[in-house]
Structure 1
Amino acid sequence: MWPAHHPNGRIKYQRPMCGIAGTFQIDASCPPPADRIGAALQCIAHRGPDDEGIHRNGRAVLGHRRLSIIDTSSNGHQPFVDNGGRYTIAFNGEVFNFRSLRADLEAQGHTFRSHSDTEVILRLYAVKGPSFLHDLNGFFALAIHDAQEDTLFLARDRFGVKPLLWSEVNGQLLFASELRALIALGAPRDQDLVSARQYLAYYYIPAPHTVFQGAHKLLPGHCLHVDRQGVRVERWYDVVAASKQVPKSTDPGRTLFQLMDDAVRLRLIADVPVGAFLSGGVDSSIVSALAARHHKHLHTFSIGYADDPFFDESRYAEEVARHIKSDHHTFKLTREELAADYTRLLAATDEPFADSSALPSYMLCERTRKHVTVAVSGDGADEVFGGYTKHQAELRWREPGTAERAVRLLAPLWRALPRSRNGKWPNRFRQYDRFARLANTPEDRRFQELAAFTTHEEAQALMARPADPGELSRREQAFSEAFRRMAGMNGALLADVQSTLPNDMLHKVDLTSMAHALEVRTPFLDKRVVEFAFSLPAEAKLVRGSGKHLLRTTFGPLLPPVVMSRGKKGFEVPLLDLLRGPMAGFVDETCSKDLVHSAGMDWNAVQAQVQQLRSPLPGTSQATVHALLVYLSWWKNHAQ
């Protein structure tokens, strides 16, 4: 965050959207690599098109791309070097409490040459070392070089809002904000078959792995130390331990209201236009209602589907907007517009990622960016407070009643009925079938099954070569950690925070917003809110029949009754009609025999999915075909 000086003399602070990349030579005996930092930064120019900085010192090269929001002067230039020249930082993100941190340092006698949060962060590192991360309330990915010790320190925020990838190649450490930049630095491009199989099951590649062998995602709440001895990764943040330090509240609703109100207030501080995403669901409605309390003439944004009323929920967003008196914008998307932007999204995707809601999110971000530079969103609430349908199912599995036992007894019926996401009753049958099948499955395995869109057997059938079953089993065990660390439903929520949130939801937000240089802030992921939520027993947050019950009772008075009484509805996309209609030619072109074989997929299995898509009983084939289109397009653009 950097200052802009206005005619009235008041200092304003800029918040940047950025990308970082760099290298560190671990083994000096290895031949020096080609200087590829310029090419890497060009790969992430969309994250920061206004400025580029490169710093070389000792074994380290640090690069930075910057988007100027107000001040385009040298005040905001990165990498940022401290006064003594010992420490240099490349920083991507925001620290919302940096003013109070700066005031504490000034009280100790420290002085600063700028008004940037970057300088405060670097000074904290100089004073405290890596433990300074615990002082930060915000989201970030950062790299700090210590010229005196000639070491490199990388860190990622608590919950994975900002990405950071790394690879060790030929005695050199490479890092970048995106995979394409890491590849430009020289990371290997060897297909990881286990990652491919997990992708075809989950529609994302679970961290710390990527689609390529030897390229890694730094996990949320982790840091990385690099010196002459090599690379050491360690966890610096643990939400379970942090939640145990939260004082008990005698009035959880009141405490939550105060924490969320302040979290939203902090994220509205900006010297550029600020708005809010408003879908009409519980989470975005709460954030928008709180934002309207602090921001006059708040602009809110939602999408609808002009050709597909079944998926269109814009009327609920418009009702909330009227209630909170925001200036609301609804963008009605046609199938032709969805088709046109489908390929643009694929071009922006540098690792296979098939959450279909990325398409409307991509389009919403592009349209929102024409009005504001910053938007607050409701992301994180479902994972932290228990808002998914699977959370309600889990409660019913744990304490089944008559209805639950009946669903289990009728398992053969659900298997015989048409099941898909394409209508109310087919979707209901799909849910009943899954409920019956997983009723006797252990909770950690059940979570894993619910996270998947296809079974591993179905995923493997799409691949021409088998993935290593031992390595696959080892990676799948990561889903079980949360259940060992927290009991009951809090274990299920923790599993979502550790997997679904960073691998799917936050990845989607970063991908689709940074493609359009829009900054998205997530008040529900304020560390105080998350730690308070996990300090509560699960039954205080969700109850049978009422997901996110604590949110509904706490914030209900701010919103129309219809919002709090609605069930969970995802960011659905009319994929079936899209792929059968305006995208039909693209499906045939992309699923060509040569490309399918080149990408390591099974031609007959892929064709079977395309044929089912076009049959009278498509089932859930549209989601599988979409996942294949994403992977094949990515392979064509990045791996061939």
Structure 2
Amino acid sequence: MLIEGVVVFQENLKDRFRLSKSTFDKSIELEHFFLGTKDIGNDAYEQFLLSSTKKAKENTSICNFLHVEVFSFDIYKQILSASDNKLRLAIWYDEANRKLHLARELFGTIPLYYIHIPGEFLFFSTSLSSIAGNKALQGYLDPNESMIVTYHRFRMDLRNSDYSRTFYSQVQNLAPGHILSVSQAGESIERHISFNNEKWAGYSRPEDFSPAIRDIFSQSVSASASDESLLVASHLSGGLDSSSVSTMFKHIYPSRPLHTIYHRNDSKEMDESLYSRSVVSKIGSIHHEVRQSEDDFDLIQLHTSLFGEPEVSTLSPSLITSLMPYARNLGCSILLRGSAGDSVIGSGMEILNNSFREKKWADLKYYLEKRVPHFSLAKNYPDWDNYSFERQFDLVLQNFLYHRFSESRNKPAGALFALYNEVNNALGVSKSYFMKRAFGNIVKRWMQTSVAAPQSILRDEYLQLPQSEESGIVLPRSLRGDLDPRHQEYFEDVFTPRAVTATEQQFVLGEYYGVKNRAPFLDKQLFEICMMVPDSIKYGSGKGREHFREAMRGLLSDEVMERSSKATLASSHGQKITLRLYEQAKSFLNDSKLVWEYVDRRKFDEQVSILKNDKIPYPEKVRTWFHVTRTITLASWLEWLAETKNQAV
């Protein structure tokens, strides 16, 4: 699928940016405007409204869901606001005023990039790769250093900054939920999404929220696969999200076949087959257990050419990619996923940090007591089950406090000391626990069985660059608009740059493999209602996500319903695939020159040494895996870009 076009504001640029009609299935061609589409299909789940108004009031439209005449910007906005998040892209060109409007839906399912040189032209496309290969655009495609710095700093792409930036100096990404309006006089951007939270304002109890959540989630799953002539597959990891998607599908369509696909691997920490099989037994799906591709580096190079930007994954993408060709070979046209469930649904665990930050010590104690049966580090204590509840609670409390003080270590000494005294008076801080953990970390580092990996292995000159000011759209803040500021944290969880980019890249891969990726959790109403559920209800008995568990009660298998654990990539699996990727890419890195203009080769080699050190536990290698993988993906993009520029047509 490709949607691409240009509007020119200078007469002498018309020939330079002229697009060939033969490249597209359908097109709109006016004196200063061209828009072409290829393979947009007729899918009600992915609606497009691509329209123009000629000077003589004649309307031209490419639309796959209705026939309308868009004679004004007001009509355009009405259609956009009434789409209920199904109108993925809306483009309207007003020839009389030579003004172009571009819009994306809330979750940014389909990307839309543009280059705007004020007073000259605006070029837009759903494909970065297509932009990179366009000879007329080569002067606008220098690598964006600020984006590279963000990409290559650990967890930096989970922070929300200027959304419009891309890896290209003058290419911008249109913010989801926004309209960009461009004319010869300049550009403006505004949010077109509004939220209707008031309908749930009177809800206050779990029994209020859960039936409504179940109904909304059911509608979203149904809409994701409403064409009953299409065969459907579902990624079933065994987690609450993917299990709920698969289960709800079979609840809605009991007579339709469903192929569930589980990734099999040799890591004990990643083994969730018990949970996935319990779901299969409950819903009667056609189940497949597959192993992921081991062609890690080849896949990264393929993905780079498709995305036109580096892979967003912080580990080898083969885990995700193996699903799509497998589903296609089964004859499936749709692949359901549990993507974004964690963020859209929310866990309620924020209540712990909020209680600490607001110094509500009685509340913190109350909620931590609920957490005791679900303590994630219980496996570190062989006699845990024989401990008294008081002893268990003390370990849960001290572990929580240890992490909070570690996060606060950059505070002024006086403020940190005052906080310590206040916490100690209210809850009691175990000096022996803190000293034991701190001393243990020192010993491990001395014996080289522990590491304190840096946040980045970029060259020093890039690490010293001043942080760029937020001059564009900060997506969570802009989308929230005038909603209560207490919702800001929720918006930040859902609309992180990495999450939105992952959704965009899944779309691109789905187009390549011929399988539609569908994520039912990316639903506007579901987002709205879960935003209104109090953290205390979400937290529930201490497992978290209680509001959604109750919504799925009676449908989910008992094993998934009651689980509080979650598989972790900080395991032998993460180690295995990162080491394998490095070995496959080693000669490529040795031959590459471009990546070492940004990444410090000495720092990288240190990370490789850590990667190969079997004495260091897996959880302490997470940053190392990030540095190794991100260096390889960045190198792949830089080399691809240089080659693409040389071959541009």
So what's the TM-score if we normalise by structure 2? 0.73
Partner of 1:57: 30
Which whole-Å CA distance do the structure 1 matches of 2:400 and 2:637 have between them? 31
Q: Which of 232, 257, 271 pairs up with 1:274?
A: 232
Which whole-Å CA distance do the structure 1 matches of 2:318 and 2:593 have between them? 27
Query: Are residues 1:131 and 2:78 paired?
Result: yes
Pick which of 188-197 and 606-615 moved more.
606-615
Q: Which of 502, 513, 517 pairs up with 2:514?
A: 517
Instruction: Verify the 8 A CA contact 2:50 2:91 in the aligned structure 1.
Output: no
Partner of 1:624: 627
Q: Which amino acid counterpart does residue 144 of structure 1 have in structure 2?
A: W
Partner of 1:344: 302
Provide the secondary structure at the position in 2 that maps to 1:529.
helix
Task: State the Cα deviation string for residues 399-421 of structure 1 (Å, max 9, x = none).
Answer: 56579999xxxxxxx9xx9xxxx
Consecutive unaligned residues of structure 1, counting only runs of 5 or more, are 1-17, 43-50, 92-115, 407-413, 418-428, 443-453
Structure with higher RCO (Cα < 8 A, 6+ apart): 2
Which whole-Å CA distance do the structure 1 matches of 2:270 and 2:172 have between them? 36
1:347–1:212 Cα change, 3 Å: closer
Q: Which of 141, 145, 170 pairs up with 2:93?
A: 145
Query: Are residues 1:494 and 2:480 paired?
Result: no
Instruction: Verify the 8 A CA contact 1:223 1:236 in the aligned structure 2.
Output: yes
1:269 deviation in Å? 1.1
Q: Which amino acid counterpart does residue 267 of structure 2 have in structure 1?
A: D
Partner of 1:220: 176
Instruction: Verify the 8 A CA contact 2:48 2:88 in the aligned structure 1.
Output: no
Which whole-Å CA distance do the structure 2 matches of 1:508 and 1:228 have between them? 32
Which whole-Å CA distance do the structure 2 matches of 1:158 and 1:440 have between them? 37
Partner of 1:20: 3
Provide the secondary structure at the position in 2 that maps to 1:62.
strand
Which whole-Å CA distance do the structure 1 matches of 2:105 and 2:453 have between them? 31
1:587 deviation in Å? 3.0
1:379–1:329 Cα change, 3 Å: same
| Equivalent runs, 1:367-386 vs 2, <5 Å | 367-370=326-329, 371-386=331-346
1:390–1:313 Cα change, 3 Å: farther
Q: Which of 543, 546, 550 pairs up with 1:546?
A: 543
Which whole-Å CA distance do the structure 2 matches of 1:615 and 1:319 have between them? 37
Which whole-Å CA distance do the structure 2 matches of 1:173 and 1:210 have between them? 16
Provide the secondary structure at the position in 1 that maps to 2:247.
helix
Partner of 1:328: 287
Instruction: Verify the 8 A CA contact 2:52 2:92 in the aligned structure 1.
Output: no
Q: Which amino acid counterpart does residue 168 of structure 1 have in structure 2?
A: H
Provide the secondary structure at the position in 2 that maps to 1:311.
coil
Partner of 1:636: 639
Partner of 2:576: 577
Instruction: Verify the 8 A CA contact 1:36 1:184 in the aligned structure 2.
Output: no
Instruction: Verify the 8 A CA contact 2:193 2:479 in the aligned structure 1.
Output: no
Which whole-Å CA distance do the structure 2 matches of 1:126 and 1:483 have between them? 23
1:636 deviation in Å? 0.6
Which whole-Å CA distance do the structure 1 matches of 2:112 and 2:319 have between them? 25
1:232 deviation in Å? 1.8
Provide the secondary structure at the position in 2 that maps to 1:232.
strand
Partner of 2:116: 168
Which whole-Å CA distance do the structure 2 matches of 1:230 and 1:603 have between them? 43
Consecutive unaligned residues of structure 2, counting only runs of 5 or more, are 370-376, 381-397, 412-450, 644-649
Task: State the Cα deviation string for residues 143-194 of structure 1 (Å, max 9, x = none).
Answer: 2223444432210001222211111137110111122223344161122221
1:507 deviation in Å? 3.2
Q: Which structure: larger Rg? A: 2
Provide the secondary structure at the position in 1 that maps to 2:553.
helix
Instruction: Verify the 8 A CA contact 1:20 1:177 in the aligned structure 2.
Output: yes
Task: State the Cα deviation string for residues 51-88 of structure 1 (Å, max 9, x = none).
Answer: 633332121111212065899xxxx9996789998344
Partner of 1:99: none
Instruction: Verify the 8 A CA contact 1:143 1:155 in the aligned structure 2.
Output: yes
Which whole-Å CA distance do the structure 1 matches of 2:251 and 2:237 have between them? 18
Which whole-Å CA distance do the structure 2 matches of 1:596 and 1:290 have between them? 46
1:471–1:177 Cα change, 3 Å: same
Q: Which of 184, 193, 196 pairs up with 1:237?
A: 193
Which whole-Å CA distance do the structure 2 matches of 1:475 and 1:311 have between them? 39
Pick which of 573-582 and 517-526 moved more.
573-582
Provide the secondary structure at the position in 1 that maps to 2:234.
strand
| Equivalent runs, 1:338-487 vs 2, <5 Å | 338=296, 341-355=299-313, 356=315, 358-370=317-329, 371-387=331-347, 401=364, 435-439=404-408, 458-459=455-456, 461-462=458-459, 464-466=461-463, 468-471=465-468
Pick which of 156-165 and 187-196 moved more.
187-196
Provide the secondary structure at the position in 1 that maps to 2:29.
strand
Pick which of 617-626 and 340-349 moved more.
340-349
Query: Are residues 1:305 and 2:305 paired?
Result: no
Provide the secondary structure at the position in 1 that maps to 2:269.
helix
Partner of 2:131: 182
